Amino acid sequence: MFQEKTIAQKRLLGSLTGRRGLSFPELMITCAILAVAALVVMRFLKQESEGWQVTMAQQGLVSELEQVASEVNRELRNATRAAVGTPPNITLQSATDLRFYLPGDVDGNGTILDAIGAIEWATGLQVQYLYDAPSRQLRRRTLQAGNPVGTTRVIGDDITVISFADQTTDNTLLADEIRMTLTALRTTTQGRAVTMSVNTIIRLRN
């Protein structure tokens, strides 16, 4: 019994040691296949990484544009074009320069309404939305007699195109409407340019 087991082990060992290894051409073919597989995987991972970066850039731009549009909309809803003259009516100096006034407690009674219930306007200070192309920023500043006073605040970055329009430049708009169009651009770390746009119509105070 022991002798038969020993013979079987020797036969197994002989069959294992007698196996032939890969020849040089077989080794080269194997390496080539592995290299192609690795290249395919690397391209796939690169495309996935680029797609992820583009998606993140798009989401960031959408969030920023929505925030800018929301802030501008919230403030412009307090402006007017229904007054007798200017001030306090909103004015478009150009497609990238919008100026308006806000209600204020002029008579000091604690409200923005005067004694007869009419809206009081702080015409001493004018608000300006101005696009600065070199820095690609939409800025908000306060003007007094046409001159900047106080702090200039950046409302939006990465802005490449901005356009304000009213009924005088777009006859599809109503007298109390302002259209704002924004386009923003960001570049991913891999050099992909991503742009997003938003177009909104803002209803002014009557």
Instruction: List, for residues 21-58, the tens digit of each pLDDT value.
Output: 667 777 888 888 888 888 887 787 677 677 788 888 88
If one compares 200 and 37, the residue with the highest pLDDT of the two is 200
pLDDT bin (cut points 50, 70, 90) of residue 13 is low
pLDDT mean over 175-189: 92
Q: What was the pLDDT predicted at 4?
A: 53
Q: What was the pLDDT predicted at 178?
A: 96
- CA 92, 94, 95, 98: dihedral to nearest 10 degrees? -40
pLDDT mean over 182-206: 90
* pTM of the predicted structure, to 2 decimals: 0.74
Distance CA 105, CA 41 (A): 67
Q: What was the pLDDT predicted at 2?
A: 45
pLDDT mean over 187-192: 84
- Token pair 């304000």 is found at 164
Edge-to-edge strands, sheet with 97-100: 91-94, 97-100, 126-132, 137-144, 147-156
Q: What was the pLDDT predicted at 69?
A: 94
Cβ-in-10-Å burial (0-12, 13-18, 19+) of 83 comes to middle
Chain segment 77-131, per-residue pLDDT in tens: 999 987 766 688 999 999 999 999 999 999 999 999 999 988 999 999 999 999 9
With pLDDT > 90 as the criterion, what percentage of the chain qualifies?
60
